[in-house]
């Protein structure tokens, strides 16, 4: 069945398309790629493991769970599948890319209504891999740092409260949505309730009114509401369990993505990068590359982005591009742009993340210190996600604002919730 499916694909699409079937989508080399339990990659793994097990004569469970983590077991399944494909098919699906998930392999195993992930999806997955949390994962950030002297946290019995992020009371999901300064969690709650009325009540039960007050509350309200839940062991555990069920819901995930793609959120930040590259296109003669796109998305998530007025940055980039007769490579341009947009928060981490978008370019010199930070942080490369500087992306699908920004927020906390938050937590010490 597999053989007939691919031969039919080759026959229908011709040799030019057959060459494209070998394009790499994901390649595991040194570090596993964490792509999420709820995406199409997990579905691909289910089908791959079943076919590979049938070919190799062993149980599908030997490859582990279909969890969206592309690592050694997924690579082994791809290798185990090869003997059941003849030489024509192996060449078409890129068998020479040892253990890689290719366009051809994807089309071989997946139904036509689930096409191979495009550059935008894979670029977003790169940032997902760095953030490392799925849609069903939350983390309270009250007093999350241990006391340097005792080594204990507040909930572990230390009398003091230490934190390394006093403005993010709750963090959730693959883009690190917060209920603090950014209020992304509140925006996602608002967008989901508009799209799916009643879902909040169905999942959060006794916490429903708390969630309504959180969505409509100001920053002080978010602190007090969430602190009151966090400090109570029973409520914290129940809330965490219910939030996991909420995050696992497809409508919630769609709202999550839409909020981050909105013009007044990361989508607007990404659009500034595209506006910048459009301004210099007469000089570089191209649109942003796939790797550029991934760099833009990761910068919008965690780092500095172009200002609203890009005129000065356009001048700087234009001078850099025209300083010699040779155009800078895409990687060289990204490296210089990163220097003009320094991150003042977690500086070394940003350097390590920037290296992901530089190490594939042979024209870029990455310092030893920079390379060490990159290897310690992730060791990932843009090419691990099938992203290339030889393919281009003209724009990014920025979504309209959700409308949440127009709502006037107010203090929505009940007196008993305010009293529940310990004064020690309010006087948290910055670590």
DSSP 8-state symbol, 275: H
What would the mean pLDDT of 284-303 be, rounded to a whole number?
96
Write the CB contacts of 194 (distance below 8 Å, at least 6 apart in sequence).
403
As a whole number of angstroms, the distance between CA 39 and CA 364 comes to 33
DSSP-assigned states of every residue in 312-375:
HHHHHHHHHHTSSSSPPPHHHHHHHHHHHS--SSSHHHHHHHHHTTTTT-TTPPPPHHHHHHHH
Q: What is the pTM of this model?
A: 0.90
Distances (CA, A) of 249 to 147, 202, 245, 253, 281: 37, 12, 7, 6, 41
What's the pLDDT band for 3 if we cut at 50, 70, 90?
Answer: very low
Whether the pLDDT of residue 15 is over 70: the answer is no
> ∠ at Cα 183 (178, 187), nearest 5°?
110
What would the mean pLDDT of 268-276 be, rounded to a whole number?
97
As a whole number of angstroms, the distance between CA 392 and CA 20 comes to 15
How high is the mean pLDDT of the chain? 92
* Three-state secondary-structure class, residue 153: coil
As a whole number of angstroms, the distance between CA 56 and CA 52 comes to 6
Reported as a single tens digit per residue, the pLDDT across 86-128 is: 877 777 777 667 889 999 999 999 999 999 999 999 999 999 9
What would the mean pLDDT of 364-385 be, rounded to a whole number?
93
What's the pLDDT band for 12 if we cut at 50, 70, 90?
Answer: very low
As a whole number of angstroms, the distance between CA 379 and CA 102 comes to 21
Write the CB contacts of 352 (distance below 8 Å, at least 6 apart in sequence).
370, 373, 374, 376, 377, 378
What would the mean pLDDT of 296-309 be, rounded to a whole number?
94
What would the mean pLDDT of 221-240 be, rounded to a whole number?
97
Q: Measured in whole angstroms, how far is the alpha carbon of residue 157 from the centre of its chain?
A: 34
Residue with tokens 């799916």: 196
> What is the structure's pLDDT at 303?
86
What's the pLDDT band for 8 if we cut at 50, 70, 90?
Answer: low
> What is the structure's pLDDT at 95?
63
Closest CA to 137 of 2, 14, 248, 292: 248
User: Which pair of structure tokens corresponds to residue 219?
Assistant: 């920053």
Q: At what angle do helices 290-301 and 330-340 cross, to 10 degrees?
A: 20
What's the pLDDT band for 5 if we cut at 50, 70, 90?
Answer: low
> What is the structure's pLDDT at 16?
41
As a whole number of angstroms, the distance between CA 345 and CA 54 comes to 50
What would the mean pLDDT of 191-202 be, rounded to a whole number?
96
Whether the pLDDT of residue 273 is over 50: the answer is yes
User: Which pair of structure tokens corresponds to residue 86?
Assistant: 């003849």
As a whole number of angstroms, the distance between CA 218 and CA 370 comes to 40
> What is the structure's pLDDT at 2?
56
The percentage of the chain sitting over the pLDDT mark of 70, rounded to a whole number, equals: 95
User: Which pair of structure tokens corresponds to residue 258?
Assistant: 């839409």
DSSP 8-state symbol, 296: H
> What is the structure's pLDDT at 96?
67
> What is the structure's pLDDT at 230?
97
User: Which pair of structure tokens corresponds to residue 162?
Assistant: 């230490």
Write the CB contacts of 319 (distance below 8 Å, at least 6 apart in sequence).
none
- Give burial (CB, 10 Å; 0-12/13-18/19+) of 342: exposed
Closest CA to 36 of 126, 168, 140, 149: 126
Distances (CA, A) of 104 to 10, 20, 108, 121, 261: 9, 8, 6, 18, 29
> What is the structure's pLDDT at 215?
94
Write the CB contacts of 46 (distance below 8 Å, at least 6 apart in sequence).
66
Beta strand 177-178 with 170-172 is antiparallel
Q: What is the dihedral of CA 254, 257, 258, 263, to 10 degrees?
A: 180
């Amino acid at each position: 069945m597999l053989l007939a499916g691919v031969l039919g694909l080759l026959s229908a699409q011709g040799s030019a398309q057959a060459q494209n079937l070998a394009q790499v989508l994901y390649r595991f080399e040194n570090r596993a790629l964490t792509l999420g339990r709820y995406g199409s990659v997990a579905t691909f793994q289910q089908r791959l493991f079943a076919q590979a097990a049938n070919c190799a004569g062993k149980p599908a469970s030997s490859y582990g769970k279909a969890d969206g983590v592309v690592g050694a077991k997924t690579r082994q399944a791809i290798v185990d599948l090869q003997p059941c494909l003849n030489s024509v098919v192996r060449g078409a699906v890129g068998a020479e890319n040892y253990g890689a998930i290719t366009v051809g392999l994807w089309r071989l195993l997946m139904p036509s209504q689930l096409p191979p992930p495009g550059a935008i999806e894979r670029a977003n997955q790169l940032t997902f891999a760095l953030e490392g949390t799925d849609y069903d994962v939350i983390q309270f950030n009250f007093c999350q740092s241990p006391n340097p002297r005792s080594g204990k946290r507040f909930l572990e019995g230390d009398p003091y409260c230490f934190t390394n992020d006093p403005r993010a009371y709750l963090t959730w999901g693959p883009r690190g949505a917060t209920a603090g300064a950014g209020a992304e969690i509140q925006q996602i709650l608002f967008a989901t309730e508009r799209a799916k009325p009643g879902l909040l009540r169905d999942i959060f039960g006794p916490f429903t009114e708390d969630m309504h007050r959180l969505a409509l509350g100001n920053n002080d309200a978010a602190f007090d509401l969430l602190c009151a839940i966090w400090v109570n062991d029973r409520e914290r555990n129940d809330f965490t369990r219910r939030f996991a069920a909420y995050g696992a819901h497809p409508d919630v995930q769609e709202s999550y993505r839409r909020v981050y793609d909105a013009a007044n959120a990361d989508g607007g930040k990404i659009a500034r990068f595209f506006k910048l590259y459009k301004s210099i296109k007469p000089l570089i003669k191209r649109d942003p590359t796939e790797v550029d796109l991934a760099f833009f998305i990761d910068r919008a998530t965690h780092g500095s982005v172009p200002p609203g007025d890009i005129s000065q940055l356009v001048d700087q980039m234009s001078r850099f591009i025209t300083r010699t007769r040779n155009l800078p490579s895409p990687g060289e341009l990204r490296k210089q742009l990163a220097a003009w947009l320094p991150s003042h928060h977690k500086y070394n981490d940003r350097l390590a993340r920037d290296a992901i978008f530089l190490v594939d370019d042979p024209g870029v010199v990455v310092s030893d210190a920079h390379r060490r930070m990159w290897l310690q942080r992730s060791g990932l490369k843009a090419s691990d996600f099938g992203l290339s500087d030889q393919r281009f992306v003209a724009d990014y699908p920025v979504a309209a604002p959700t409308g949440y920004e127009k709502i006037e927020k107010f203090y929505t906390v009940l007196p008993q919730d305010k009293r529940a938050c310990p004064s020690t937590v309010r006087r948290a010490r910055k670590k």
